[in-house]
Structure 1
Amino acid sequence: MAPHQDTGAGVEAERPEYAGHYRLESLLGSGGMGVVHLARSTSGKQLAVKVVHAEFAKDPEFRGRFRQEVGAARRVSGAFTASVVDADPEAARPWMATLFVPGPTLAGHVKRNGPMAPAEVRRLMAGLAEALRDIHRVGVVHRDLKPSNVLLAEDGPKVIDFGISRPKDSELRTETGKLIGTPPFMAPEQFRRPREVGPAADIFALGSVLVHAATGRGPFDSDSPYVVAYQVVHDEPDLTGVPEDLAPLIERCLAKEPEDRPTPDELMRELRSVAASYDTQVFIPAQRAGDQPGPEPEPRVGDADKPGRTGRPGGRRVVFGLGALGVAVLAALAAVQLPGGESVPPKDDTPRTTSAAFRAWATPGPGNGMPRCSYGADQLLCARAGQVFALDPSDGRLRWRHAVASADGSGTPAVVGGLVLSPPTRDGHVEALDPGSGATRWKRDAPAHGGLASAGDTLLLTGADGTVTAVDGATGGTRWSHRVPGHVAPRFVSFAGDPLAYATSPSDDGSRTRVTAVDPVSGDVRWDARLEGELEPVGTNGGTVLLASSDRVYGDTDAVTGYTPETGATRRVALSAALEQAQGTVHEGVAYLMATGGTLTAVDLEAGEQLWSLETGLTRGSAPVSDGRHVYLAAPDGRLLAVDAKSGRLAGQTPSRLGEAGTVAAALPAPVVADGRVYASAPDGTVFAADGRDPGVW
């Protein structure tokens, strides 16, 4: 066996000779989660094999994270990614083998040779855009694209390291909070709303990577990761030194709001339009002595950065506390496009009759993008960039449509005070529409950089200074306006059938959460509690509020906590395995939690137990909804899934509706359940309905 390049005692002590059938020849790198070896298959093919550290192989939770990484990497295939050849997440020492990619990382290349020439930057941009297209098409969001995760091969750049499988190592324990990533290459929403990070975050990271390639530094630079975080959220990027013909496109990639960034397909189209700047020649960065294989080759898998490396190009993954940033934000933004045209009758092969009373339907719309829908005023209310529209819930026919000037595509329309509240526009307005015609009944300003939530017949607007203004949904008049005691920038949630709105604020160290129940009509505080842990309300049951509890290191949901204000009693039910970026709902005291990576878990708080856990196979899914019989989820490819609420078994799913362009939404709208029917939308623009009583025939 060739001598290893890293001779650290810990690495030497745990060095195996084989991973499966692959002989490990030399060490390419070592990092917090494992070591990466150069290996050969029986036929002689060179591979890069990541082997998990022995101490983490004993941790069931970490094994689950590694399985997620393997699953995500296997779903991605293309000319600009390193393909998975084999893996065994269940081995005594879990491992994953990918094709070995000769060539330095982008971080190493820039560190040794300085910034790339403009032509190289253009080809890098084209290759990475194509890589992200392939990644996003299968519903994967990389979330940690950075120079050390980009390999410069002769045939183009390769993106590596999917899933962010993270060990609970000592370095990360020194920080608190819920955000993990590499600060100079993280998008604003990764700091502001980490549970709703979508493909657009990878586009922001791409912009930062390209600035680094062109200048040797990032668009946001500071020795402090917390300062970088502030700059990413608030400051304009420094594009000094970026090629002039690429600067406008890179600036769009670095837009603060996800919907303002181009998609990978748009990037490739615009690159082709840059005359004399885009070509399809083989990608061969200028080879200098430092790029040739030597005694210390760059790691071929991004997690395996060499220990002790402190240079800025690769950056470090850091955990942040949201309280230090104090940022109040609006709801997650979906990557949607404007539909144009009337409702179109479904094709004969699309619907399926499931009962005499209801026939499944599908109303396709031109273009791509997922409408965001809700149910109210006896109709299905949907929004996408440029308009709000109402559909007949029985057959999908268009009832009315209202243009919303400069709409950004975010948010879901809702009935508030008997009127249809449209999502906010780019110029900062919200409109209340007549539910019968779609005509505007009232309009008023919404606070910039603030929060918006509805509770009963009241609209709650939270300004950047923390002032909350309650608006009568029926008239548009102000009911009250003041700050909520104990909250700097409160974020409200409310639940159907519950007259209260709940504001939450975690402590800076994530050890406690202040939860305040507010009467939305009067503004009075009904109760106020300081509860242990970092908590987020997911629903109520009788007089008990159910909250998802997150661990203080990674921000993953590890328990469901119930708080009963009448008695002050709390109850906590731990999960068998932590759920990454979980979204939740509650039905009759049972909490259903859906995690990034596809795990759906049911917890009965009253019984004090986890009922079941199902691996759905989705890398990413919508928030769950339930009618008591089934739990429903939307998939990135447009499928609607139904899971039996009692057994946790898959009960049915609809065909995929991805669309020709393969657009993947930044945030998946949750299905809508009403009167035994389930309504959902798809990336191809379709809104469709299915009978919730019999998912087996979908």
Structure 2
Amino acid sequence: MPPLRSTGPVPEAEHPEYAGQYRLERRLGSGGMGVVHLAASASGLRLAVKVVHPQHATDPEFRARFRQEVAAARRVSGAFTAPVVDADPEAGRPWMATLFIEGPTLSERVKRNGPLGLDELRRVGAGLAEALRDIHRAGVVHRDLKPGNVMLAADGPKVIDFGISRPSDSDLRTETGKLIGTPPFMAPEQFQRPRDVGPAADLFALGAVLVHAATGRGPFDSGSPYVVAYQVVHNEPDLTGVPAELVPLLTRCLAKDPAERPAPDEVMAELRTPVGEVATESLRPGRAARRAPGEWSAGEGPGPARAEGPDRAPAGTPGRASGRAPGRAPAGTPDQASGRAPGGAPGRVSWPRRRLVRFAAVGSLVAGLLAGAYAGIRVAPDGGARPAGPPAARPGAPAFAPWQTTLSRGRDALRTPACAAQGDSLYCTAPGVAATRLDAADGRPLWTRRTDGAGAGAGAEAEAQAAAEAQAQAEGGTSYEARAPVLSAGLLHITTAGGKRLEALDPESGTTRWTAAAGSYATVAHAGGCVLLAGADGDVRALDGATGEELWRARRGAPGTQWAPAPDGSGTVFAVTPGADGDGTLVRAVGTRDGRVRWEKLLDGSLSPVPSSPPAEGALFLLAADTDDFTTAVVRLDTATREVHRVPLPVDVDQAQAAVSGGTVYLVGTGGSLLAVGTEGGSGGGGQRWRLETYAARSSRPLVDGGRVYLSGADGRLLAVDARRGVQLGQTDPRMGAGRFTHAPVVPAPVAAPGRVFATAPDGSVFAVDAADPSRW
């Protein structure tokens, strides 16, 4: 519901003093579902707290709908929505608290100031399309997008009210007697086939919202909701007063057939480059079809077991013509950290004609000055420019220069690589690439083994592996983080054939040392120089990581067991097995060389282990989760004394991922909330140290290195945060793919080496940045 700035007397039953721990300060607005109040958290965050009307709180079906709304809002909580801070759908008066968004609704803005101008329409439309793109990727269909559910914040529009059915907003009801939306902004299928409503319905609503913003009325206005419904299904929209430049796009959005409506990315593209303005892409130098310095493709470069790289990208492919990643604005672009030009139009800068003439003149002068700088670059046979040598080898060059290497390409495939670093090399896997070794200094491939058999020996095994990869991509992709290479016992361990085979490779040459079948095992874990193949039934087979020889086989687990190596680097691995009822978790310390159980301890709650980075001495860290998979506490188990210290979280974290460094646990959940939790022992020790909203809807597990916390976003961004203060230090621009899957559903964690950080992106690239100054990324 829109947080209207209404005031006046309110019945006492409608104005409780508290919602959970939050004191309600004043009433912001009211709707058919409940009342929105302004409140504040203990740390001073301003919150908008929605409290359900008492008459609906007694309706079991309504409560179920509210629970669904809370779950949907949490899934999409991020840069384009109001992030959920807390909620209690089981309270006597169910409530939900989100961050308070300062600004009017679109409905209020139009009522107060009249229709929006063309430029503002473009900015609002592009922002809403971007919001719908991320909402749909989270698996949510809004179903009730309308001007009252769009907040005009200083940093762009925000979408609110997910999954709400308002019993008092209209007389139109489904067969269950509940509303399916707001008639003037509903798609035809919402009236005709409400159970089949999909993301395209939100695009129809977007078109209707923009018509309202441009004219002050909707495209199907009427005083009767039944007449509106008839017009939506049978009549053409009334676009009188809509700027001519936007009529074709809005006509497509308001098409009766959902298949004829544009995707959010298409809407964004049409709204971001208006006539008379120049997009930053057209201002980028070097748009000829040649590779920029420091950019490589898999299969290039010398080395044994070298295979042919993937097909070269055609001229004009994003990210190929210039050294910048796709979508990266030139230095000096306003608001470079967010990628937005002033006013909220993402990725665009307007240049007056006179400034373009001056820009061209200065550009010619700079080009002449830079000619000498390129004298040390040799041209590859394919026309691509390559560095003449490692950065340290060039006089006056910095010790490290950022680089990017593309491992896999192709539309509509999940292409995010996963990597591990050791010494001066980076080892990666990706769709189509079983393993590759990259030079950590410049990203140059030293050897590559492809899944089509190139560099690995053709035959039935290679064919089966390629078929498994193709099937995995057809089914929506696999967890490439689970298939990331592991350096253990002096070898590089990878899984191939869709995870059915384990291979150990020589890291220097890429040749196979040994292989083992892994198809019947659900988990592959590495600890103490051994490889553990764990089945879903608890059966465990241990192999020597150097030779592949079987060391032992025994039942050391149960369904749901997770394995974590001992933090002290000894030959011990912890088997963490939550009970079926969620009341307790059994932790066993198992010797990796002999399989003996050294000790075991039963802990309260449903727990999962946290990787330590770097290894934490003498402790195993675990996350406690409730039945809805919300993390509620951090648990520290002393592996010597078996003493347990539990630190509750002030706000539950949805689908948390975590890492440990120096006794501090860093957690990130869906929606982008990153927090640091101290785990000092003793009564009352530890607790939340800081919390930061990164606004990354989905992200990787944190990496902690050199006093920094690094995260990879699902859109290919790499973020750096000060580990002590919780302040964001910098971020790269997105590196998204060109097909349907532009955001990665599974995001591999970045890896670090002295002075640099490596990350991967959905466009199939691996890139490296200088860790010294993230603000310059």
TM-score range, shorter chain: 0.5 to 0.7
Equivalent residue runs for 1:617-656 within 5 Å: 617-656=695-734
Q: Does 1:575 align with 2:649?
A: yes
> Comparing both chains, which one has the higher relative contact order based on Cα–Cα distances under 8 Å and sequence gaps of 6 or more?
1
Equivalent residue of 1:470, what SS?
strand
2:618 counterpart residue number: 543
1:586 counterpart residue number: 660
Q: Does 1:385 align with 2:427?
A: no
- For residues 31-81 of structure 1, give each alpha carbon's deviation from its aligned partner in whole angstroms, at most 9, with x where no partner exists: xxx589xxxxxxxxxxxx995427999xxxx999968856466499xxxxx
Q: Does structure 1 conserve the Cα–Cα contact (< 8 Å) formed by 2:568 and 2:616?
A: no
Relative to the length of structure 2, the TM-score reads 0.51
Q: Does structure 2 conserve the Cα–Cα contact (< 8 Å) formed by 1:447 and 1:462?
A: no
Q: Does structure 2 conserve the Cα–Cα contact (< 8 Å) formed by 1:421 and 1:431?
A: yes
2:399 counterpart residue number: 357
Task: Pick the aligned partner of 1:374 from 412, 420, 433.
Answer: 420
- For residues 155-199 of structure 1, give each alpha carbon's deviation from its aligned partner in whole angstroms, at most 9, with x where no partner exists: xxxxx998789xxxxxxxxxxxxxxxxxxxxxxxxxxxxxxxxxx
1:399 counterpart residue number: 446
Give distance in 2, aligned partners of 1:600 and 1:687. 24
2:593 counterpart residue number: 521
2:529 counterpart residue number: 457
Closer, same or farther: CA 519–598 of 1 in aligned 2, 3 Å: same
Closer, same or farther: CA 512–575 of 1 in aligned 2, 3 Å: same
Q: Does structure 2 conserve the Cα–Cα contact (< 8 Å) formed by 1:546 and 1:563?
A: yes
**Unaligned 5+ runs, structure 1:** 1-10, 37-48, 77-86, 100-131, 154-159, 166-209, 218-249, 251-262, 265-281, 283-288, 294-337
Equivalent residue of 2:724, what SS?
coil
Closer, same or farther: CA 397–572 of 1 in aligned 2, 3 Å: same
Q: Does structure 1 conserve the Cα–Cα contact (< 8 Å) formed by 2:503 and 2:512?
A: yes
Give distance in 1, aligned partners of 2:515 and 2:591. 24
Q: Considering only aligned residues, what root-mean-square deviation do their CA atoms show, in Å?
A: 5.0
Give distance in 1, aligned partners of 2:499 and 2:609. 31
Closer, same or farther: CA 588–70 of 1 in aligned 2, 3 Å: closer
Residue 613 of structure 1 aligns with an amino acid whose one-letter code is R
Closer, same or farther: CA 478–135 of 1 in aligned 2, 3 Å: farther
Residue 398 of structure 2 aligns with an amino acid whose one-letter code is A
- For residues 211-270 of structure 1, give each alpha carbon's deviation from its aligned partner in whole angstroms, at most 9, with x where no partner exists: xx99989xxxxxxxxxxxxxxxxxxxxxxxxxxxxxxxx9xxxxxxxxxxxx99xxxxxx
Q: Does structure 2 conserve the Cα–Cα contact (< 8 Å) formed by 1:559 and 1:573?
A: yes
**Unaligned 5+ runs, structure 2:** 1-10, 17-25, 37-47, 58-68, 84-95, 108-127, 147-158, 165-188, 201-218, 220-225, 231-307, 314-318, 332-390, 452-464, 473-477
Q: Does structure 2 conserve the Cα–Cα contact (< 8 Å) formed by 1:557 and 1:581?
A: yes
Give distance in 1, aligned partners of 2:707 and 2:496. 34
Give distance in 2, aligned partners of 1:520 and 1:96. 61
Closer, same or farther: CA 659–216 of 1 in aligned 2, 3 Å: closer
- For residues 92-123 of structure 1, give each alpha carbon's deviation from its aligned partner in whole angstroms, at most 9, with x where no partner exists: x9999799xxxxxxxxxxxxxxxxxxxxxxxx
Larger of the two Rg values belongs to structure = 2
Q: Does structure 2 conserve the Cα–Cα contact (< 8 Å) formed by 1:422 and 1:430?
A: yes
Task: Pick the aligned partner of 1:492 from 546, 556, 563.
Answer: 563
Closer, same or farther: CA 89–472 of 1 in aligned 2, 3 Å: closer
Residue 455 of structure 1 aligns with an amino acid whose one-letter code is A
Give distance in 1, aligned partners of 2:678 and 2:49. 38
- For residues 569-612 of structure 1, give each alpha carbon's deviation from its aligned partner in whole angstroms, at most 9, with x where no partner exists: 11122222111111000112111111111111111212613221
How far 1:690 moved relative to its partner?
Answer: 1.3
Q: Does structure 2 conserve the Cα–Cα contact (< 8 Å) formed by 1:548 and 1:560?
A: yes
How far 1:448 moved relative to its partner?
Answer: 3.0
Closer, same or farther: CA 434–565 of 1 in aligned 2, 3 Å: closer
Give distance in 2, aligned partners of 1:436 and 1:634. 28
How far 1:138 moved relative to its partner?
Answer: 3.5
Give distance in 1, aligned partners of 2:309 and 2:129. 22
Closer, same or farther: CA 649–356 of 1 in aligned 2, 3 Å: same
2:380 counterpart residue number: none
Closer, same or farther: CA 488–427 of 1 in aligned 2, 3 Å: closer
Give distance in 2, aligned partners of 1:580 and 1:139. 16
Task: Pick the aligned partner of 2:690 from 605, 612, 616.
Answer: 612
- For residues 597-654 of structure 1, give each alpha carbon's deviation from its aligned partner in whole angstroms, at most 9, with x where no partner exists: 1111111212613221111121111110011410000112211110011111011111
1:340 counterpart residue number: 310
1:44 counterpart residue number: none
Residue 598 of structure 1 aligns with an amino acid whose one-letter code is G
Residue 517 of structure 1 aligns with an amino acid whose one-letter code is A
1:440 counterpart residue number: 512
Q: Does 1:563 align with 2:563?
A: no
Q: Does structure 2 conserve the Cα–Cα contact (< 8 Å) formed by 1:88 and 1:94?
A: no
Q: Does structure 2 conserve the Cα–Cα contact (< 8 Å) formed by 1:424 and 1:446?
A: no
Relative to the length of structure 1, the TM-score reads 0.56
Q: Does structure 1 conserve the Cα–Cα contact (< 8 Å) formed by 2:755 and 2:772?
A: yes
1:311 counterpart residue number: none
Equivalent residue of 1:422, what SS?
strand
- For residues 457-511 of structure 1, give each alpha carbon's deviation from its aligned partner in whole angstroms, at most 9, with x where no partner exists: 21111123321111112112211111016x3452212367523222212122222
Equivalent residue of 2:495, what SS?
coil
Equivalent residue of 2:419, what SS?
strand
Q: Does structure 2 conserve the Cα–Cα contact (< 8 Å) formed by 1:537 and 1:545?
A: yes
Give distance in 2, aligned partners of 1:377 and 1:443. 25
How far 1:517 moved relative to its partner?
Answer: 1.9
